[in-house]
Structure 1
Amino acid sequence: MPADSISRMDSNGSGGEANPPENLLGTSPGASSLRSRTESESSDKLTRFVLPSMDGSPPKVLTLNEVGDVLKNIQNMELVHEIAINPEFKFEPYEPPENSLERRIKDIMHKAFWDVLRGELNENPPRYDYALQLLAEIKDCFPQIISQNNTRALQHINEILDIDVLKQQAEEGVLDFRAYANFVIQIMAKSCAPARDEMVRQLTEITDVVDTFKNILETMALMKLDMVNCLLDFARNDIMANSVEYEKKKFKEYLEYYKFGFPATENWLKNSCAHDVNNVPSTPEQTISNAYMQLMDWDESMEFPEVLSVDKERILKLGQRAKRICTCAAVISICSGVPIISQRTENRVALAKQIEIILQGTTNKKELLDSIENVWLQVKTVITGYLQKENQPIMDTNTEDLLKSQIMQAGNKDSPVGQLMWKRFQTYFRLALRSRAGLPPPPPGYADFQDELEAYTTALKRVIAYNHSVFGEYFMRVLTQQPFASSAATVTTSDAGAAGGTTAKEQDSADNAAAAATAEQKAEQSQ
């Protein structure tokens, strides 16, 4: 039956009526692909899994159900985490990869169904076995795309698509398959989102009745997805309000099974402990803040902290985004040495946008460095054009060579300009990380990229603040060797809101550091 695309969002993969509000928290992408075992394949009563011990304590024996519960909790936590972290999160239709075995099997099964349906309808007299099955499944789908409060519409659908009546009509040879298709389309037209109006209208233009129903199912699958995302939007605020406590609870439950620590996380934290000129180590709060700063440019040769693994891909992409912004700022700062750029604000702004466009598609360091050549060519063309427009002499060879040499090094943070711009970037982000109010003004060289700078800062700060709310207590436990449940080691959610992990006791020192960083920015601007 080709309705798997319609029923895929069900928590159990069945085609029956779902309860979307519960599914939002009870299902994670890919969960429907898990294969359930029957009692004949493997008995849960007999199967046991041993969680090995690493601290000398006796190993813990888990049943298959307990293992399943752990995995389900992790899946649920990942889904809630994604909803809370990503304000643009939406459920997307699932399609097997091209040329995959799953895709080939799906295509074969679907083609077989529609071929059999067409063959039955072309018989003389027609047979309606598959047609009845199709209408029954469409009837079951309507409660998933129409609000449960719309009882009159659902009652009307149940009356028209009454299975007993349909069977009787089929037995008497008077079942009008086209008329039922038109009825279904009418209901869909009244129930769909405005974005689907044209798609539903096109259903009325299909003359072949089998193709009509085939497209009805595909459209209903999208309408069901629209309903799920609509419910998600309504539930998002509640999910976000409770997600931190939910993840903290699940994390503690996980630690009940796994008490052996997280080596990469512990190394990440402990290696972030700095010492001042008097060799006094930083406080745990300062160490956590230093650790968060490392996420701006994570060294991929190091093992990523286990507890942040859900956000690893997001953090690494943000790191590449930071490199792009820094490179753009470095290039425009170099170009500001040319009067036609520094003395013409409109020229500088236009060139900055062009540089940003050239680099925006780069996804790794190699691509970024490879694109610098194109940046230089664009800079040369633009500056030459501006000079010719104002009847000024074009750059001489020495000036051009010097400008090219500096720009070609702009993507390297070890270059003088790269070092300066990265230092300013880090100072800005540290200020933003500690700020309980809005974002600070952009540092020198970044004014033309303020929107991108603030978008990046907001995104990474959101990731850090959320994870700190969930794992801050555990981080303090690692750095202070306190028991996990100790109230003395607890970092409150309000502290995490600053995303810097500073307690009230440490806030004065943080404010002093912020003031010093601000003074440094002003000094640079005056130079």
Structure 2
Amino acid sequence: MPKPSPGDERPPRPAGAEAAAGRPRDCGEEGPRAPASPPQDLSGSELQEIADEIYKLTMAHEIVLNGDFKLQMVNFSPFSLENRVKETLHEAFWDSLKEQISANPPDYTQAIQLLQEIKEALLSLLLPRHNQLRSQIEEALDMELIRQEAEHGALDIRGLTTYILDTMAMLCAPVRDEEVQGLQSLTDPAQLLREIFRVLDLMKMDMLNFSIQSLRPHLQDPSIQYERKKFQELLDKLPHSLDHTTEWLREAAAAVSASLSEPQPHSAALQGAAGGSTALPSLTSMLNQGYMNLLCWEPGQKEYPETLLMDQARLQELRAQVNQLTVTAAVLLLTSSTCGSTLLFGSPGLGARLKLVTQGLLEGLPCARCEEALQDISDQVLQEVSRTLSQLGYPALTSDKCASLKGQIKSIADKSNVVRRVIEQRIHLFLSHFISPDGWNPQKGFPKGLDAIQEELQEVGRRFRSVIHHNRQVFGPSYLGILKKVLFPEAEPESDAGTDSF
């Protein structure tokens, strides 16, 4: 029976990498089209091939966009069937190895095979410039010599493992020093070999992650070409139209067009940021409006555009952060208007404490529980304000003012609340500049009422811009073709009416 792999049987997975939320569905003629549900006439091997291609595509996307991307070994749940099977097979293999080594005379057949695999693992950790060390490993772990020593009963397992541990200590990252040193105390050869494999697996993962981090700055342009090509290949196998992407862009186009007849500050700003005319909306302004709309979608409210499925979790996280910043800024604005900006921003640390309390109570809460959190926030705000007034020798707030402030803070839970809507519009206006061709210009100043969340909002803007810029580079031709069809359904395919660069 073939031995089980000394490490985990399953391939490593990306840490923090969001898998595409649902299958890619369909595609338009102008560019990549996402596949819908797999047709019934595809074989199991074909479906597996498609799944593998989607996995590769997702991995390439994550490596470029996720700065914290890391590969990690997959660990089964301790009580899962997979883990029980794995542990049973591993125990059987290592127990068998221990019996072979302990026999009289010892049987080193499996041990020699493991030493060969350890040698290959060590060589795989070397950089091209490690010529001398490579020669040393080849000499110290000369497999032909080891087999001859085993045949004559002269194999020194302890000496070989000592050399292996010394080499691992030279090659491992600092984070693995303690684990490698801990192996020195093991005396059972079978247990020592088992632990060597475990730590080598971790070292190989460290090397892969180091390589990914080193290469990331050079992968942006190749990744765009790779994603566009692989996505198109997938869609050629499962050809359909980009239904959800088309609907998403149609809604965006309608919103921008409607804003011309009844201008709103937010929509007008979007057009201006994109460089569009007040008389005729640009295709860029429509696409930007579509991106901004994603920040307003409740999870599960609508089908996500197929071209953004790999970024759905990322964008939903940004949406949650925007909601949290909206509520935080609204709480601070209401407190300032009730108690006076001199007290709020003139008292050492009060504004920072109120912000910290608000964000702490909102952290991780879904929108459905916002009202519950705002009840606690209103209590904490009053406590902080009362303490500060007392410390500064100011008169306490009247009961009417306390009740008014608490009521106003709790009313922020209502999405139609005037203060919340104003803050939300200003935040969206700020973010719309981030994804415009010109980007955000600091000379324009920060939107009024958002100074307290400036640092957090700029970080959200940078992350939002990163996702949108990459998506626009990959799927820009597709979006251009879809918008032309939406706006000019009777036009010939080669018509350049309304053409605008993204």
Identify whether the pair has TM-score above 0.5, normalized to the shorter chain. Answer: yes
How do 1:124-135 residues align onto structure 2 when only pairs under 5 Å count? 124-135=104-115
How do 1:115-514 residues align onto structure 2 when only pairs under 5 Å count? 115-272=95-252, 273-274=254-255, 275-278=258-261, 282-299=281-298, 300-337=300-337, 338-339=339-340, 340-344=343-347, 346-362=349-365, 364-434=366-436, 436-438=438-440, 440=442, 441-481=445-485, 488=496, 501=502
- Alignment deviations for residues 13-62 of structure 1 (CA, whole Å, 9 cap, x no partner): xxxxxxxxxxx9xxx999xxxxxxxxxxxxxxxxxxxx999xxxxx9987
- Alignment deviations for residues 269-317 of structure 1 (CA, whole Å, 9 cap, x no partner): 1112232454877443322121111011213321111121111111111
AA aligned to 1:442 is F
Aligned to 2:61: 81
How do 1:48-67 residues align onto structure 2 when only pairs under 5 Å count? none
Worse-matched range after superposition: 2-11 or 290-299? 2-11
- CA RMSD after TM alignment: 3.3
Secondary structure at the counterpart of residue 131 of structure 1: helix
AA aligned to 2:154 is V
Displacement of 1:8 after TM fit?
Answer: 5.9
- Count, aligned residues: 454
Secondary structure at the counterpart of residue 178 of structure 2: helix
Displacement of 1:65 after TM fit?
Answer: 7.0
Aligned to 1:106: 86
Checking the alignment, whether the CA contact within 8 Å between 2:326 and 2:423 is kept in structure 1 is: yes
Checking the alignment, whether the CA contact within 8 Å between 1:97 and 1:103 is kept in structure 2 is: yes
Displacement of 1:189 after TM fit?
Answer: 0.9
In 1: Cα distance, 2:121 partner to 2:314 partner: 35
| Cα gap change, 1:173 to 1:412, in 2 (>3 Å) | farther
Secondary structure at the counterpart of residue 303 of structure 2: coil
Aligned to 1:46: none
Checking the alignment, whether the CA contact within 8 Å between 2:173 and 2:206 is kept in structure 1 is: yes
Tell me the TM-score normalized by structure 2: 0.81
Displacement of 1:174 after TM fit?
Answer: 2.5
Aligned to 2:30: none
Tell me the TM-score normalized by structure 1: 0.77
In 2: Cα distance, 1:4 partner to 1:444 partner: 60
Displacement of 1:103 after TM fit?
Answer: 1.6
Consecutive unaligned residues of structure 1, counting only runs of 5 or more, are 12-23, 31-50, 54-58, 496-500, 502-527
Aligned to 2:271: none
Secondary structure at the counterpart of residue 125 of structure 1: coil
Checking the alignment, whether the CA contact within 8 Å between 1:413 and 1:422 is kept in structure 2 is: no
The one of the two structures with greater contact order (alpha-carbon pairs below 8 A, sep at least 6) is 2
AA aligned to 2:380 is Q
Displacement of 1:471 after TM fit?
Answer: 1.2
Checking the alignment, whether the CA contact within 8 Å between 1:473 and 1:484 is kept in structure 2 is: no
Aligned to 2:272: none
In 2: Cα distance, 1:433 partner to 1:345 partner: 36
In 1: Cα distance, 2:321 partner to 2:233 partner: 35
Displacement of 1:328 after TM fit?
Answer: 0.8
- Alignment deviations for residues 138-195 of structure 1 (CA, whole Å, 9 cap, x no partner): 1121122222432322222222222222222223222222221111100011111222
Displacement of 1:211 after TM fit?
Answer: 2.9
| Cα gap change, 1:466 to 1:490, in 2 (>3 Å) | farther
Displacement of 1:420 after TM fit?
Answer: 1.4
| Cα gap change, 1:489 to 1:200, in 2 (>3 Å) | farther
| Cα gap change, 1:370 to 1:69, in 2 (>3 Å) | same
- Alignment deviations for residues 439-487 of structure 1 (CA, whole Å, 9 cap, x no partner): 5443223212222111111111211111111112111211212899969
| Cα gap change, 1:154 to 1:467, in 2 (>3 Å) | same
AA aligned to 1:187 is T
Secondary structure at the counterpart of residue 91 of structure 1: strand
AA aligned to 1:175 is L
Worse-matched range after superposition: 136-145 or 147-156? 147-156
Secondary structure at the counterpart of residue 247 of structure 2: helix
Worse-matched range after superposition: 150-159 or 368-377? 368-377
Secondary structure at the counterpart of residue 87 of structure 2: helix
AA aligned to 2:309 is S
AA aligned to 2:75 is E
Displacement of 1:398 after TM fit?
Answer: 1.6
Consecutive unaligned residues of structure 2, counting only runs of 5 or more, are 20-34, 263-278
In 2: Cα distance, 1:399 partner to 1:180 partner: 79
Checking the alignment, whether the CA contact within 8 Å between 1:80 and 1:239 is kept in structure 2 is: no
AA aligned to 1:465 is H
Checking the alignment, whether the CA contact within 8 Å between 1:81 and 1:243 is kept in structure 2 is: yes
Worse-matched range after superposition: 266-275 or 353-362? 353-362
AA aligned to 1:469 is Q
Worse-matched range after superposition: 328-337 or 156-165? 156-165
In 1: Cα distance, 2:12 partner to 2:458 partner: 38
